[in-house]
Structure 1
Amino acid sequence: MAADPQASADTGTRAILRRARLPLVAAPMLLVSGPELVIAACRAGVFGSFPTANCREEGRLDEWLRRIGEECAETPDAAPCVPNLIVHRSNPRLRQDLEVIIRHRPAAVITSVGSPAAVAPALRDAGIQVWCDVATVHHAQRAADAGADGLILLTAGAGGQTGNANPFAFVRAVRERFDGIIALSGGQADGAALLAAQALGCDLGYMGTRFIATREARAEARYKDLIVESELDDIHLTNALSGLETNLLRRSLLAQGLDPAEFGIGPKRFSMTALEGREGGAPKRWRDIWSAGHSVSGVRDVPSVAELVDRLAREYGEAAEAMLALASGVRR
């Protein structure tokens, strides 16, 4: 992952950033991100994304990408859609979804849960950038070696499947070695946090939790309300659901009659299979037990995506002005 002096001047790679009003990705969220949310995000001027796993029926991915492309074309300055592809071998639709994506040729694809090595050559041959989410410097190295154009750093506090690295240390460690696009995932809910991510050396912020609580998100009304009502201390970390460390809304566990204390970290973690025999069956991951990140403390309403992005842009501008004023007083 040695820094390449040419990479920082690679206008081909970074040109995509100029297509957004704000340096922000509305993160892909299982069951929550649908075409309505993606289209609204892109039209508002931020990168929209969705997991291809949300397209469960045959032909649905092709339908979504076509609809997103057509409706975003009506807004000349719309930001790109960047679909999210799970590259782990457990994904039975990997090849099928990859073929559909290549036909539509989005500007970039986000790869998750593994190395992008198996898909990066085909995507890049099609002129599609490869952005890979990673949770350690080791995995950042592997993704860069596999040809990733961008890295999404999953840090402590990110919603859903998360990392445990401190964002300050993680970003600086990766930026020292990698001159491609870097996006920061975890803990951001406003424009000031977005500016702070750039001050660290990131090109983009990556917000999921904040976009769950929008009118276009495909989340239940109670899920959105719970995010608004929750604080950072209401987020519970466990690897009981999937074996991967995941941040959940504590009150969604309680609502299912579950004891959060039994959902911990380690090899003796609580097993969801233990609930299969209970009356009504076991609660469904993601559908009945909801995820969110530490940024819930910054979510206090459920606006439209357009209203949210306008607010983020205003906060970003105000934070930039404040930092300029602060910097002007620094002794040199």
Structure 2
Amino acid sequence: MSVRWQDLRLPVMAAPMFIVSNLDLVIAACRAGVIGAFPSANPRAPETLDDWLGAIRAAERDSVDRGEPFAPFCVNMLASSALDKDKRDRALATVAKHEAPLILTNMGDPREVVDAAHGWGGTVFHDVTTIRHAEKAIAAGVDGLMLVCAGAGGHAGTLSPFAFLPQVRRMFDGPIMLAGGIADGNGIAAALALGADLVVMGTRFIATLESGTVDDHKDMLVDARSEDVVFTDAIAGLPASFLAPSIAANGLDPADLPKPLARHRPNLPAGVKPWKTVFSGGHSTGLIQDIPSVADVVDRLVHEFDTAREAGSWRNALAASVGRRVEQS
């Protein structure tokens, strides 16, 4: 089975996000020409996962029958040995049944998923936040890597993409996705210039009509600034990016959060739940100004990306920028 790369309008994946990445968002992304992704846990049960994958494949067939593109979809699976093995095996069997073209693994050894996916021709990426994680994933035989950098929403890394990606590229010649703070066409162009093959956007796709989060979350992203993003392990038990106004709305002080009881065990008041009542967002929240449809987002990104590529040499761009400032003074 080959991945339908030719149906991509842009080298972009709508990030797999807990709660946010519902079936509507995934299908809308694929129809718009970017990779639609979701965590395998979002459907909540193996039989529901089967329903989701069946619906995505049906939407794909419908698009193909009408002569329209349908970008690849991606299923995000935890590879951690701490998970219930029976539950993980059932999820993997369901993903295999539908021959998902792309798999994104994280938090653990991806070898089992890699072996299974290669059996049906799937391509496996692994989510990494450090050089050491990248080295281990490469040794495990993954096809590609997703580098999660500083500024990403959700579980993020701390490394700058300008240092992280070139180091990984020295030791890995496979496809690399870059995530963290990207929400417009200029960011896509910059990531490709840096050596990425694909870009992952989460925050931009949270604030869309199709996303599965509540309206309060979407509205908060429009209103918030980049400095409203708090990177902490206090909310989810692992370092992650959350919105300070949402933290405060849950009765917590963003500047004085309770320390976690242990890894994966936050010490939160009853009723306060990461992702559900405490909303996430990355540094690109400062770029979010509206809540359009996924199709409109992708159309805008295509225009911005094409404009960025046509901007000419850096000397011409610098001269034009300086000239504008002189004219305004």
TM surpasses 0.5:
yes
In structure 1, distance between residues paired with 2:101 and 2:298: 21
**1:275-317: CA deviations, max 9, x gaps?**
2xxxxx3312211011110010110000000000000000000
SS of 1:119's partner is helix
In structure 2, distance between residues paired with 1:210 and 1:263: 27
What is residue 21 of structure 1 aligned with on the other side? 9
Number of residue pairs matched by the alignment = 312
**1:196-222: CA deviations, max 9, x gaps?**
000000000000000000000001000
**1:103-126: CA deviations, max 9, x gaps?**
100111011122212321111122
1:186 partner letter: G
1:63 partner letter: D
What is residue 82 of structure 1 aligned with on the other side? 74
In structure 1, distance between residues paired with 2:197 and 2:7: 13
> What runs of 5+ residues in structure 1 fail to find an aligned partner?
1-11, 276-280
- Using a 3 Å threshold, how does the CA distance of structure 1 residues 107 and 254 change in structure 2: closer, same or farther? same
2:77 partner letter: L
What is residue 137 of structure 2 aligned with on the other side? 143
> What runs of 5+ residues in structure 2 fail to find an aligned partner?
319-329
Q: Indicate whether 1:192 and 2:181 are aligned.
A: no
**1:219-272: CA deviations, max 9, x gaps?**
100000000101110000111133321000111110011111223888899x74
2:78 partner letter: I
The alignment's C-alpha RMSD in Å is: 2.2
TM alignment of 1:217-232, pairs within 5 A: 217-232=211-226
What is residue 95 of structure 2 aligned with on the other side? 101
- Using a 3 Å threshold, how does the CA distance of structure 1 residues 16 and 177 change in structure 2: closer, same or farther? farther
Match of 2:147 among 144, 149, 153: 153
Q: Indicate whether 1:175 and 2:163 are aligned.
A: no
SS of 1:31's partner is coil
In structure 1, distance between residues paired with 2:268 and 2:237: 15
User: 1:325 Cα deviation (Å)?
Assistant: 3.9
More displaced stretch, 238-247 vs 27-36: 238-247
- Using a 3 Å threshold, how does the CA distance of structure 1 residues 265 and 162 change in structure 2: closer, same or farther? farther
In structure 2, distance between residues paired with 1:220 and 1:318: 33
TM alignment of 1:1-332, pairs within 5 A: 17-76=5-64, 77-92=69-84, 93-263=87-257, 272-273=266-267, 275=269, 281-322=270-311, 324-326=312-314
- Using a 3 Å threshold, how does the CA distance of structure 1 residues 256 and 19 change in structure 2: closer, same or farther? same
CA contact (8 A) 1:132 1:148 kept: yes
SS of 2:217's partner is helix
CA contact (8 A) 1:273 1:282 kept: no
What is residue 5 of structure 1 aligned with on the other side? none
Q: State TM-score, norm by structure 2.
A: 0.90
2:234 partner letter: A
